[in-house]
Structures are given as C-alpha cells and as structure tokens.
Chain A
Amino acid sequence: MSINVIPQITRERILELAGKGRRIDGRFLYQYRPIRIERGLIKKADGSAQVSIGSTKVLVGVKIETGEPFPDTPDQGVLMVNAELVPLASPVFEPGPPNEDALELARVVDRGLRESKCLRFEDLCINPGRKVFVVFVDIYVLDYDGNLFDASALASIAALMDTKMKPHRIEAGEVLWLEGEPSPLNLQHYPVSITIAKAGGALFVDPSLEEEQSVDALLTITMDEQNRLCAIQKGPGSFTSEEVFKSVQIAKEVSNYLRESLK
C-alpha cells in the first residue's frame, strides 16, 4: 500500500496548533466533524446505513442468513464483520484481499459490537449445534478522510438499528417464514467508538486524514450507553497511563453526542 503524503509544513502546523489547543480546520479539541447518518439506502439489504464524518464516508450493509454456529457457542447466533477498503475511496487503497488495516478495522468494530452484547445471540439460535442465524455486517469504505474506526462503528450500529427480519417461526429446528411486516432486531446496547489522537502534548477526537498522518499516537475506545468500555485498540505511538485515563474521560463526554446522532 502506498503512503499518504502530508507536507512537512502541514504536519508541523498540526503539532504546533495542538500544543495551543487548536486544530488545523478550526475545530475544538473535542469536536467531531459534521456527522450525517442516512438509513435504509440499500433496499436489498436487511439493514443499511451510510455515515459521513466530515468527508469520510462509510456504507454498512447487514444481511441475515442461516448457517452453522461456532462449536464453542452451539446455541448462539453468529456475527460476522468484514471491512472493505474499496479502491474508489482513496488513492492509497488497492484492489485485492483485505490487508492488515482492513482486517484490523473489521476486528475492532466486531469487538465493540460483540462485547457490548448489543445483539441477543441466544435469540438467533434455530437448532442448537446445527443451525443459527448469521448476521453479516459488511463495512464498505467509500471515501477515506481519516477516522475510519469511528465512522465504521457508527455506521455498523446504525445499520443494525435499521435491520429488520421477516416474520418467522421456528419449528423442529427449521425456520418457517410467515407473511407480514418485518420487525426490527431487538438491540440491547448501543456501542459507539471514539478515536483520540495525541499530538503536541494535547489529546483531541476525530482526527482527519492529515491529522491522523501527523499525530504522535492514536487510541480508539468503544463504549456502551452505560459508559462501560467494550473495546480498546491503540494504534501507532504510545500513551502514558494518565493520558489513557484522560482519554476514557473524553470518550465518556463525547460518546453521548455520537449516540444522539443515532436517534
């Protein structure tokens, strides 16, 4: 994968401004770029949502199919999260199988959804050990201007909120599809992810692409609506433990705002 080239002068400016508590695009430290969520764009999917944070754009489609459960959880449904860094999204994305960045993105979003227990996996069982519902969450990055973690996590939970299942009955380990209106999935929790950047001694949220490429370190925290931590992923760089605890405080403050945007 080729590299995003950020001019040295921009990089220095970002670090210098951060030291004074300011941002290159005029934002406050704890301010997101404008967030837009559109739901139900893809009628063929069981649920979908497109999220833009600034000019970063991520589309997520949810499909529910039947399949086999994992051997260690025979009576629970399966969640599969996949991410595609589609080549149309950036000059640095190349066609081909998912690279480490795409895999990491999918796995961090997966952890947030899974550990928050937002889906009731036991409700997705059809025939224990043989057949369960498999919820596929496919993340499609359409325009890459930084902070894919937060955009993808937000789009994923928004798409799950939009997901509807056709009415059905389970009889003798088989699904019987019935007539009628589809009903939404029963979500238990609403995890959102907050990415915090460290630069020039300051911490700020939602780094844009040029900020992401310039900062000293990145940390992504996923929180549910009760402010419980469900996933953390440190990116490049390093943090002191004080900075980590401060990041958790920032995430707590900002997560409500992100969750508001889901309403």
Chain B
Amino acid sequence: MGYRRIDGRAPDELRPIKMALGVLDKADGSAYVEQGGTKVLVAVYGPREVHPRHLASPEGSIIRCRYHMAPFSTQERKNPAPSRREIELSKVIRQALTPAMFLELYPRTTIDIFAEVLQADGGTRCACVTACSLALADAGIPLKGLVASCAAGKYQDQIMLDLNDVEDKGCQADLPVAWLSTTGEITLLQLNGLLTEDEFREALSLALKGCRQIYEIQRETLMNYYMAPAKELVSEVGQEGSK
C-alpha cells in the first residue's frame, strides 16, 4: 500500500501507543493511555456500596460509567458540564465493558468507572474503553478478558485505521469498535457516516486488526506491571541462595 497519511502513517497503521497502570493512589484501579495525541486517564472504584441505595440490585453489581472531557482537552474550551455526546458515550462505553464482567459476583454493589479525556486528538472513546479495561484489571475485578478498542474510518475515500483529529473531523465515516479478547466478540460498534457494504466489511476487519494489536500492548503492560515485582523477588531470592 503506497498511500501515506497526513501524519506519514500507512492506512492500516496505529498511532504510537503508551499505557500505564496504577497511576492513581486513591483509586482501586487506574490506567493511563496515550494514543497519538489522545491522552486519557481512568479510575475504577469498587465494588463498593451503592449510593443512593435504591439503585442497588440483588442480582449483581451495577456499573456506572462517566466519560468526560476536560475543558482544556480540545482546541476551543469545552464547557465542563456533560454534553449530550458525553452522556451517550458514557452509556456506550459501559455497554462495551459489561460483556467482559461477572456482575453476579458482587450483588448490591456498584463499580464506578471514571474516564477523563485530558487531551482529545481523535479516537477518545476507544482509548477510554482500552484504558477502562486495564483499570478494571488493575482493580482486581475478575474479567472474561480484556476489552481493546480502536476505530477505523473513511477519509479522502480511503479506509484507514485509528483516525487522528484532522482525519476524524474531515472523515466521511467513523467506525469505533471494541473487541473482547477471549471470545473475539464485538462489544462496541458504532457507525457515523456513509459506507457501502464492502467498505463496511473492510473497515470492520481493519478496526478488529487494530484492536488485536492494542490488546497485545494491554497484555504486555499488565504483565510488566504485575510480573516485574515477582521477577525482582525471584532474582533477590536467587541472590540470597547463591551467597
């Protein structure tokens, strides 16, 4: 593929990604994800007592999710009050994560997920889903698998992966997707824009390919974070033994 994008990427290339775990002290679980210029921070609290209590369910934990953009995250200042878009995305992100969870394990509790977009550069909902899934794992909440998320889209008649802000604003179609690693099922799927059936197939396959790559980075991040102390311990024990 000879096509090069405005930032020099190939159509099927992700932006550089950074992930970190346990970045917040007070949260039960937290994660930070950077994808190109998009920066998101997620905290998970719970399972904990539900307030107000009438929301609690004897059948399992409820999940509350808030997607929110910082006022300074966009070119023009964003009003900090939740917009219609943010309220919709909060619901969509919650529904992207729910299929990965065992809610019946924690009746009468809530799991609260707070996703803050610190800098918006396209693909914020996907970065949030990716980060939420890591933060849930960091909180020690059992999951059926990790949820990795990535968008594909159509920009200048070309189907491409992981749109940046410029591509996102000028795109003909945007297709955010989230993927559950263990079952391979799609847990988030939205389309905004015009695609023929063939283009849709191509874009969905591309987005899923992106999700798999993001999953590998998620996995590596988790392994590094949780295995590193164990490795240190092993090497320390090893040194003790050799003395």
Contacts and interface: CB of A to CB of B under 8 A. Distances in A.
A242 to B, nearest CB: 10
Contact of B194 (A106, A116, A237): A116
A110 B87 CA distance: 15
Contacts of B169: 72
Interface residues of B, number: 34
Interface stretch (A38-46, A129-137, A152-160, A226-234): A226-234
Contact of A229 (B98, B184, B197): B197
Contacts of A107: 84-85, 88
Contacts of B186: 234, 238-241, 244
A237 B187 CA distance: 7
B95 A234 contact: yes
Contacts of B183: 238
A234 B204 CA distance: 14
A152 B94 CA distance: 24
Nearest to A117: B194
Given A115-B194, A245-B201, A239 B95 contact: no
A235 B195 CA distance: 20
A239 to B, nearest CB: 5
Contacts of A240: 184-186
A181 interface: no
A238 B99 contact: yes
A248 B84 CA distance: 28
23 contacts: A100-B88, A100-B91, A101-B91, A103-B87, A107-B84, A107-B85, A115-B173, A117-B194, A227-B196, A229-B200, A232-B191, A233-B189, A234-B92, A234-B95, A234-B190, A235-B95, A236-B95, A238-B183, A240-B184, A240-B185, A241-B205, A241-B208, A252-B197
